[in-house]
Amino acid sequence: MAIPDYQQFMLPVLNYLADGKIHQLKDITDFTADNIFKLNQSEKEELLASGRQTVVANRVGWAVTYLKKAGLIDNASRGHYLITSLGEELLKSPPEVLDTNYLKKYPSFLEFYNTNNKKDISTTNDRSEELTPEDMLEYASKQLKAVLEDELLQKIKACSPAFFERLVVDLLVKMGYGGSRAEFGQAIGRSGDGGIDGVIKEDKLGLDIIYIQAKRWEGTVSRPEVQKFAGALQGQRANKGVFITTSDFSKEARAFVSSINSKIVLIDGKLLAELMIDHNVGTVVTHSYEVKKMDLDYFIEE
């Protein structure tokens, strides 16, 4: 039989987790492949084009990711999952088909889907003829990046404050600030002056100084917190600062920084994850694809 698509794995995965126990991703993959879809050895060993992962493991992985986005399952630890109360509720009256369209009834999944799918590609391929191969590659790239951003942010929030400060150091150095990592590392977290966590050079020559506040945050960062940082900048006779958080900033906080003379850049959790991906901090390239086109100049006969 053909290997089922990732949506066909969703309901079997949820049913497998219905016992309420914590299960490893590999066990989930093996069980659904062997006992639900009864794939043969050749099908189970079939690899993606990259040669780095089996097709089955990839599709179960995406099923797990989407179920998690909907809040139906959750991580117990890295690579281990369990069903949530929302998932248990669904299984009391399960749908005939559990797919991305069904998951859109859950606000957390719908927000994820709408944010990262400006061009909606139906998973049943009913719009595939409208899309160029380039469109589909771009869509897949956005999906992969969105999932990675979410994973990065969850991992950062679980790390210690000291690790978060080191992460900020690595990111800003990779972006070209702060001179050397050792120099920046000595500065971060030492000033502790009125909401300032550290200072960096704007360029390698140190022609200007930027003050940093880097805080893991659960709730939205409000205007008073940003005002406190702005006041600390004034106390240092500084006019440039970067406020980095793992959460988000309120509208009032964003409006405040646009109304003052000091230049304060606000980096929320989403932008932080994007910058980490762009500058290869905490991420690695697993594989890449080349897209080639005909070189028409080559065929010109003089």
Residue-wise pLDDT for 31-64, tens only, equals 999 999 999 999 999 988 777 789 999 999 999 9
The alpha-helical segments, DSSP class H, found in 188-241 are: 223-235
Of 60, 85, 116, the residue that ends a domain is 116
The pLDDT-based confidence of 177 (bands split at 50, 70, 90) is confident
How far apart (Å, rounded) are the C-alpha atoms in residues 5 and 217?
A: 38
Asked whether the predicted pLDDT for residue 89 surpasses 60, the reply is yes
Rounded average pLDDT over 15-42: 96
Which range, of 117-121, 139-143, 255-259, averages the lowest pLDDT? 117-121
Higher pLDDT residue, 121 or 23?
Answer: 23
For residue range 144-166, what is the model confidence (pLDDT) as tens digits? 888 899 889 988 988 888 888 88
Terminal Cα distance for the chain, rounded: 54
Are 105 and 171 in the same domain?
no
Nearest residue to 14 (alpha-carbon basis) of 88, 113, 110, 97? 88
Are 104 and 190 in the same domain?
no
Task: Indicate whether 137 belongs to any domain.
Answer: no
Count: domains in the chain: 2
Is residue 275 a contact partner of residue 39, using CB atoms and an 8 Å limit? no
Percent of the chain with pLDDT strictly greater than 70: 87
Is residue 76 a contact partner of residue 16, using CB atoms and an 8 Å limit? no
Are 165 and 112 in the same domain?
no
Task: Indicate whether 129 belongs to any domain.
Answer: no
Task: Indicate whether 75 belongs to any domain.
Answer: yes
Higher pLDDT residue, 50 or 172?
Answer: 172
Q: Is the pTM of this model over 0.85?
A: no
Of 60, 92, 116, the residue that ends a domain is 116
Asked whether the predicted pLDDT for residue 99 surpasses 70, the reply is yes
Task: Indicate whether 67 belongs to any domain.
Answer: yes
* H/E run at residue 190: none
Are 249 and 174 in the same domain?
yes
Are 190 and 250 in the same domain?
yes
Task: Indicate whether 198 belongs to any domain.
Answer: yes
Identify the CATH number of the domain in which residue 36 sits.
1.10.10
Asked whether the predicted pLDDT for residue 187 surpasses 60, the reply is no
Q: Which domain holds residue 13?
A: 6-116
Of 88, 116, 144, the residue that ends a domain is 116
Higher pLDDT residue, 179 or 113?
Answer: 113
Are 249 and 187 in the same domain?
yes
pLDDT value at residue 170: 87
Task: Indicate whether 123 belongs to any domain.
Answer: no
Are 182 and 79 in the same domain?
no
Are 168 and 73 in the same domain?
no
Task: Indicate whether 165 belongs to any domain.
Answer: yes
pLDDT value at residue 127: 46
Identify the CATH number of the domain in which residue 212 sits.
3.40.1350.10
Asked whether the predicted pLDDT for residue 249 surpasses 60, the reply is yes
Are 206 and 111 in the same domain?
no
